[in-house]
Structure 1
Amino acid sequence: MKFLREAYQSGHALEIIFSSLRWFFLVVSITVFILQYVEDPVQIKLTLFVPLVVFGLIYMGVSDYYLHRSPEGSRMYTFMAKCGPFFDFIAFSTLVPLTGGIESPLFPLAYLIILHIAVYWRFLGGIIAAILFISVYSIIFLKQVSDISSFDSIVNYLCQVLFLFLIGGLGGIIVSRERKHHSEKNMLVEVANRDYLTNLLNHRSFQECLREDIENGLEFHIALTDIDKFKCINDKYGHVMGDLVLRQIGAMITSIIPEKTGKVFRYGGEEFAIILYTKEQFEVNRILVQVKQAVANHCFSCEGEPFSVTMSFGCCKQNGETPNQLVKKADKLLYEAKDNGRNQIVCVNLGACHDLIFVKD
């Protein structure tokens, strides 16, 4: 049930479902073909079916590899995902004639493939896919039905064409509507969770992330950091320059901390929050020192006048506290760094009786 909810929200989860269905229907197709071949062994059908299965196994294996190993949205991921419906259409066009033509038990796969195409190309894709499947069905119908002018033949043909067209049209409309709704919802969520100035995750995102990480039992450190004497920058160079400093520092911190290692948030004002997913204190110290040095070494400029800024840090490891307790502890360490001269990193060393460590260059 959880995975189905994810499929509604995630294109990746939906693609994994379609990929899994390919393997399922491959087994079904092989079973249907074998049962029919045993009853009516036609060598030409076997000659065509075997290479098709081999090609399908190779394609589906390669496709699954990139779907699971490549980053979502990468070139190969997108290529393999969008090639899937084309492979499905080719496989369908070959399998159906080999397993009974218009009476093939595999024919309903056409409806599923049309919907899959509509996921990527929406209404227009659904209509085009329906026309292609109608063409395939029409060719098979003309070759297989001896009396195409009979009433039963005409009714069967028109019903199948109508169903295919309706699935393409209505399926495309429904998918387009849902995709649009989902995109708008994601956009609103993104706006609600992002700081408009720095494009970092905002205070709300930080609190939610902190709560979820604690509930999931993750090991991590949090650091609160702010720009030393930031008010002086606004007073001397103006708030526009102050905004630029915030944006550039946010970009510097983000570039230093890999996405898999941690997350960066704008906590408020000139203050930032960092979550680092490691239990090693020396690794936390290394990353924070790198951030601290990068900021201190960066040269800002306002109307030709260069200036620099420094940052202070308070950092602690999650050790069973509530989110509020954890933030309060990190905030206390930050003020400890401020009180001891700024431009410092103060951490709690959990391995040494909670003594304070002043990490300096």
Structure 2
Amino acid sequence: MKELKPLLKNAYLSYHGLEIIFSSLRWVFLLLSTVVFTVRYTQNPDPLKFYLFVALVVFGILYMGVSDYYLHKSPEGSTMYTFMTKGGPFFDFIAFSALIPLTGGIESPLLPVAYLILLHIAVYWRIVGGLIAATLFCTFYSIIFYMQVSDVYTLSNLVVYFCHVLFLYLVGGLGGIIVSRERKQHSEKNELAEVANRDYLTNLLNHRSFQENLRKDLENGSDFYLVLADIDRFKSINDQHGHVTGDKVLRQIGEIISTIIPAKQGKVFRYGGEEFAIILHMNRKKEVDNLLVTIKEAIASHLFYCDGGESFSVTMSFGSCIQNGEKPDQLVEKVDKLLYEAKHRGRNQIVYSNVG
């Protein structure tokens, strides 16, 4: 039960979490389909249906195996990840269309699976996709119904038929509306949260976000280096070239640092004023040093321009150390002293703690 709660929460917050649930359900329905087919096959053996079902199972295992691989191994947003996740409902429809005739047609206990597939389609394609998919399912159901039922136009059979069609359209249409509404609200909430956690000038994560990330990483016991970096003599830049140029310098330096720091290994924050903070999820000082030297040299060699066309360059000083179980404010104070030492040594320096 404890493992289920985070999974459900993740499914509500992201498409990725929802895809994990749908992927798991495919394996459950594959097992359930095998049981249903086996029971029906023992009652009415048909070698052709047996071979078709085996082929369907093999195809399903191959597809679901490949899909799960890209779902867990590929970065979200990559071509294969997008193809496998958004293409999943099409596979589900094809598999469903082949499975239902093999497990009893309109009498198949697996027929309600259509509603889940419709909801899955509505997640990506909203109300239009839900209605189009409902039309496809109704067409498929109509074909099976007219092939299997002898007295189609009796009142009882017509009631059954129209009820199924109605429910399919209701799930497709209303499901699409509900999903669209929920996703819109969630998207707007995420946008507001993103704005609250971003610095308006540099578009880097802001001080508030830095404190939250630092606290979480320390609570989780993650290995990381904290870096504080400060632009040398930034006040003279504002005094000599103006605050507009100073703002441009801040933005460009933020871009330089963000470009160099690998997204999976670190986060860059505007700590405040001309100071930046970096959390590097690394535990080897040599790797951190190589990265910081690259940043320091890239900034020192970069030419900045004021409105008059005059060019100038700036340097930065850095203080860094690996976390050692300190509280957030203790760790920040420790690194801040290292940054002050770098300034005291003549600026354009990287100073590390003797520990780590």
Q: What range is the shorter-chain TM-score in?
A: over 0.9
Counterpart in 2 of 1:250? 254
Counterpart in 2 of 1:114? 118
Instruction: Say which of 291, 297, 303 aligns to 1:293.
Output: 297
> Distance in 1 between the 2:318 and 2:269 partners?
14
Q: So what's the TM-score if we normalise by structure 2?
A: 0.96
DSSP 3-state at the match of 1:273: strand
Counterparts of residues 1-361 of structure 1 (less than 5 Å): 1-302=5-306, 303-350=308-355
Counterpart in 2 of 1:359? none
Deviates more, 1:246-255 or 1:115-124: 246-255
DSSP 3-state at the match of 2:71: helix
Superposed CA offset, 1:135-186 (max 9, x none): 1111111111111121210111111111111111111111011110111111
> Distance in 2 between the 1:127 and 1:52 partners?
27
Superposed CA offset, 1:43-70 (max 9, x none): 2212322222221111111111111111
Superposed CA offset, 1:216-250 (max 9, x none): 01121111111011111112112221111111111
Q: Check the 8 A contact 1:195/1:266 in 2, yes or no.
A: yes
Q: CA RMSD in A?
A: 1.2
Q: So what's the TM-score if we normalise by structure 1?
A: 0.95
What amino acid is aligned across from residue 313 of structure 2 in structure 1?
S
Task: Give 1:188 deviation, angstroms.
Answer: 0.9
Task: Give 1:80 deviation, angstroms.
Answer: 0.8
Task: Give 1:110 deviation, angstroms.
Answer: 0.2
What amino acid is aligned across from residue 345 of structure 1 in structure 2?
I
> Distance in 2 between the 1:14 and 1:40 partners?
38
> Distance in 2 between the 1:257 and 1:169 partners?
45
> Distance in 2 between the 1:282 and 1:94 partners?
57
Superposed CA offset, 1:111-135 (max 9, x none): 0000000000011111111111111
Task: Give 1:284 deviation, angstroms.
Answer: 2.0
Q: Check the 8 A contact 1:281/1:349 in 2, yes or no.
A: no
What amino acid is aligned across from residue 293 of structure 1 in structure 2?
E
Extract unaligned runs of 5+ from structure 1.
352-361
What amino acid is aligned across from residue 106 of structure 1 in structure 2?
L
> Distance in 1 between the 2:149 and 2:50 partners?
23
Task: Give 1:76 deviation, angstroms.
Answer: 0.8
What amino acid is aligned across from residue 238 of structure 1 in structure 2?
G
DSSP 3-state at the match of 1:309: coil
Report sequence identity in percent. 69
